[in-house]
Structure 1
Amino acid sequence: MLKPAPHAATVPASGIREIVDLAMQAATPVRRLEIGEPDFPTPAHIVEAAFDAARVSTSYVQSAGMPVLRNAIIERLGERYGLDLALPEVVVSQGAVGAVSALISIVAGPGDEVLIPDPAWPNYEMQALLAGATPTFYPLRPEAGFLPDVAEIEALLTPRTRAIVINSPGNPTGAVMPRSDVERVVALAAARDILVISDEVYDEILFDGEPANAAGFDRDHVASVFSFSKTYAMTGWRVGYSVIPRSLSAPFASVLETTLSCVSSVTQAAALAAITGPQDQVAAMRTAYRRRRDLAVGLLREAGLDIGTPAGAFYLMIPLADGADSRAAALDLVRQGVALAPGSAFGANAPHHLRMSLAAHDDDIAAGVRTFLDWRAATDGGLRVARAGSAG
């Protein structure tokens, strides 16, 4: 019998996708609040640009991305963040996930360590393991508003540390790191010649605080990763982009070439229309996410829950009773008609939380909160839910 290589066998399955699969297969309708999938359609001018491009050409393009798109990204980042970038520093990837995976594989391998927040998007850990590296976790504690303690990050650094991942605004927490903390993390990394991978895919979904703009502090030790997915409701188009140190630009492009050859020319044309076209729908979506955040937070606080207000992204962490099993709770809630992601899917520091996505319609959020509150009252905050087989 064929067996996977040892490093591949260590990559865990996604706890988010477990709930996604159950919700999609449910015999009765389920309100989908478990995944970061904007409920808005991709703006029409972006779709039309893709149709126009497909009629002209569907050939291979540059592995690092079409220069016209990369130059438009340079202009956008210059206007928004004051970055003065050259073409080799900007690379287009298969979504942000492709960029993070490539970056980790370039700088880390067997025997190396990658520092990752906990809780966090689970793909960071999965990608580190796939590269043969060891993920080391720094805590984002609920009582600290899910913000990191930079001193704790520093204490975890070893001679084997090759990368530090930061994410602001954060998934799953919605927390926004103070710029002073971002600068301190970058300074720690630069002093030790470590790469900071700054996941900034929610940079346009910011309600309070400032964007991370980590590359603005040190262009030699920071890779800032962005995506069209959340900003423009383009999750299925699979286009991301990164600002990377020049020393990594050639190997980065080579890794992309070996894994995907190039990002689709058609979707890159759509991304070009997105970044150069009208931005009013970006603002409208951000306003809607803020409204939905306030709706969910208000309903939960009215019910007596101690809920923090996320400063960005479109997620909300909901506490269960101490000792409750978030996976068992999420499985059981699917049977009640609402899908939420278990905190355990994001690491060890939020085992008694559920993540609610605020990317769904207001009515679904309100109804989902009511279903959760009824379930919470019937189960003592989730304590009565069986620890296994809840969705069987």
Structure 2
Amino acid sequence: MPTLAANATRMPRSGIRAVMDVAWTIPDVIGLHVGEPSFVTPDHVLDGARLALDRHETRYVPNAGILPLREAIAAKVATHNGITASPGQVVVSAGGMQALYLALAASVSRGDEVLVPDPGWPNFAMAVQLLQARPVRYPLRPENGFQPDPADLDRLVTARTRAMIVNSPSNPLGTVLTPAHAEALCRFADAYDLWLISDECYDAITFDVPHVSPAAWDEAGRVLSCFSFSKTYAMTGMRVGYLVAPPKVAAVTSIMQEPLLSCVNAPAQRAALAALSGGGDFVELMRRTYQERRDKAAALLDEAGIGYHLPHGAFYLWLDVRDRCGGDVTDWALRLLNAEHVAVAPGTAFGPAGAGWARVCLATKDAALLEGLRRLVEFRD
């Protein structure tokens, strides 16, 4: 039997799966470990897909996506993200993850280095390794509000550094870049001639502060912005995202779609178009609900004396369990799961800097979220 590719076999499995695999075997688990909206997909979005099916729109469409959707996306990013882009700069992808993969595949080669956040979504490092590049973790520290520190970044750049990934609002931290940080990251990328790949999957979900897109400060055509419909419109299974990139990058990534997936399925694209065409009340209701859950969870934890990082975006709470986990947060999470039937994501699933922390998903409905946190507070083994 031929050997498998080394870059495939050495790619680590997501640490969240260690909890998920056990959670599936336990009845009545309160799941606070998976980031999926508790809301159902809005009717107007489903109607967009139904109409496409009724019209038999089930054939191939352009690699970059249907023109009406790309036009609507270009209008959306101009209004909501401060990004001036033509429809030709938009490439529709199979979810935000594929937009990120497109951006990486177009910008890094074998042996290149990519700066990735720590703590950060594990798929960043996984995708970089799959492309035979090397992820280099840059720390996000509690004392800095989990914002990138230019001094840390400077120390990590080498002759092989090709790109940097930023994520705002952050999964797992819930941090949101300030305008000053976003501009500073663009200038950092300018100084070292790097691609800046910006994951903005949760751009519609912020609390108390506005979302800012680094591309609004892009002066050299080096920011590749990745977005998703999944979390904003509860469309996780429909798999529609998009990449907004400078014209030359968009042209290349559009061609890359052909061997990767040809095109995103037409009914899902029509659903995404319907999502952008209406449903503002749904997005605001969802955002407000997550903020209310955040505040209820914070009040419970404050009363219990458990530390956490208050999120200003996305729908996660970064929980400080350093005085509870005994050094191995994954083992602690599994003990919590078996004893209390509460599943949380261990912080080390998001990088070494996550040691002693756990991610709690606020997308879970109120009653389950608060009951799960009560059990966590009371858990002592």
Q: What interval of TM-score do these two structures reach, taking the shorter chain for normalisation?
A: over 0.9
Q: Which amino acid aligns with 2:351?
A: G
Q: Is 1:49 matched with 2:53? A: no
Give matches, 1:107-256, under 5 Å.
107-218=107-218, 220-256=221-257
Does the Cα contact within 8 Å between 1:111 and 1:160 map onto a contact in 2?
Answer: yes
Q: Which amino acid aligns with 1:233?
A: A
Does the Cα contact within 8 Å between 1:229 and 1:240 map onto a contact in 2?
Answer: yes
Q: Which amino acid aligns with 1:307?
A: Y
Does the Cα contact within 8 Å between 1:115 and 1:164 map onto a contact in 2?
Answer: yes
Give matches, 1:5-154, under 5 Å.
5-26=5-26, 28-56=27-55, 57-154=57-154
Does the Cα contact within 8 Å between 1:77 and 1:83 map onto a contact in 2?
Answer: yes
Task: Give the 3-state SS of the residue equivalent to 1:166 in structure 2.
Answer: strand
Q: Which amino acid aligns with 2:51?
A: D
Does the Cα contact within 8 Å between 1:150 and 1:181 map onto a contact in 2?
Answer: no
Does the Cα contact within 8 Å between 2:185 and 2:214 map onto a contact in 1?
Answer: no
Q: Is 1:357 matched with 2:373? A: no
Unaligned runs of 5+ in 1: 380-392
Deviation digits for residues 262-294 of structure 1, max 9, x if unmatched? 101010000000011131010000010001101
Q: Distance in 1 between matches of 2:242 and 2:159?
A: 29
Structure 2 counterpart of 1:292: 293
Q: Distance in 2 between matches of 1:334 and 1:67?
A: 47
Deviation digits for residues 15-58 of structure 1, max 9, x if unmatched? 112322322232x2101110110010000111111111112120
Does the Cα contact within 8 Å between 2:244 and 2:250 map onto a contact in 1?
Answer: no
Structure 1 counterpart of 2:261: 260
TM (norm. structure 1) is 0.93
Does the Cα contact within 8 Å between 2:174 and 2:314 map onto a contact in 1?
Answer: yes
What is the CA distance between 1:142 and its match in structure 2?
2.5
What is the CA distance between 1:3 and its match in structure 2?
2.9
Q: Distance in 1 between matches of 2:189 and 2:34?
A: 32
TM (norm. structure 2) is 0.96
Task: Give the 3-state SS of the residue equivalent to 2:334 in structure 1.
Answer: helix
Q: Distance in 2 between matches of 1:266 and 1:185?
A: 37
What is the CA distance between 1:159 and its match in structure 2?
2.0
What is the CA distance between 1:177 and its match in structure 2?
1.7
Structure 1 residues 269-278 or 142-151, which shifts more? 142-151
Structure 2 counterpart of 1:301: 302
What is the CA distance between 1:2 and its match in structure 2?
4.1
Give matches, 1:265-344, under 5 Å.
265-322=266-323, 323-335=326-338, 336-344=340-348
Structure 1 residues 182-191 or 363-372, which shifts more? 182-191
Does the Cα contact within 8 Å between 1:179 and 1:210 map onto a contact in 2?
Answer: no
Deviation digits for residues 312-352 of structure 1, max 9, x if unmatched? 11000111135421111121222121110010100010111
Deviation digits for residues 104-136 of structure 1, max 9, x if unmatched? 122112221000000000000000000000100
Unaligned runs of 5+ in 2: none
Structure 2 counterpart of 1:390: none
Does the Cα contact within 8 Å between 2:74 and 2:90 map onto a contact in 1?
Answer: yes
Does the Cα contact within 8 Å between 1:95 and 1:239 map onto a contact in 2?
Answer: yes
**Residue identity (%):** 43
Structure 1 residues 346-355 or 140-149, which shifts more? 140-149
Superposition misfits of 4+ residues, deviation over 4 angstroms = none
Does the Cα contact within 8 Å between 1:142 and 1:350 map onto a contact in 2?
Answer: no
Does the Cα contact within 8 Å between 1:201 and 1:230 map onto a contact in 2?
Answer: yes
What is the CA distance between 1:259 and its match in structure 2?
1.1
Q: Distance in 2 between matches of 1:249 and 1:198?
A: 15
What is the CA distance between 1:6 and its match in structure 2?
1.3
Q: Distance in 2 between matches of 1:262 and 1:240?
A: 12
Q: Which amino acid aligns with 1:369?
A: L
Deviation digits for residues 208-234 of structure 1, max 9, x if unmatched? 323131111116010111110111111
Does the Cα contact within 8 Å between 2:173 and 2:309 map onto a contact in 1?
Answer: no
Change (3 A) 1:349 1:82: closer
Task: Give the 3-state SS of the residue equivalent to 1:14 in structure 2.
Answer: coil
Q: Which amino acid aligns with 1:21?
A: D
Task: Give the 3-state SS of the residue equivalent to 1:349 in structure 2.
Answer: helix
Q: Distance in 2 between matches of 1:82 and 1:299?
A: 37
Q: Which amino acid aligns with 2:349?
A: A
Q: Distance in 2 between matches of 1:245 and 1:356?
A: 36
Task: Give the 3-state SS of the residue equivalent to 1:25 in structure 2.
Answer: coil
Task: Give the 3-state SS of the residue equivalent to 2:352 in structure 1.
Answer: coil
Structure 2 counterpart of 1:385: none
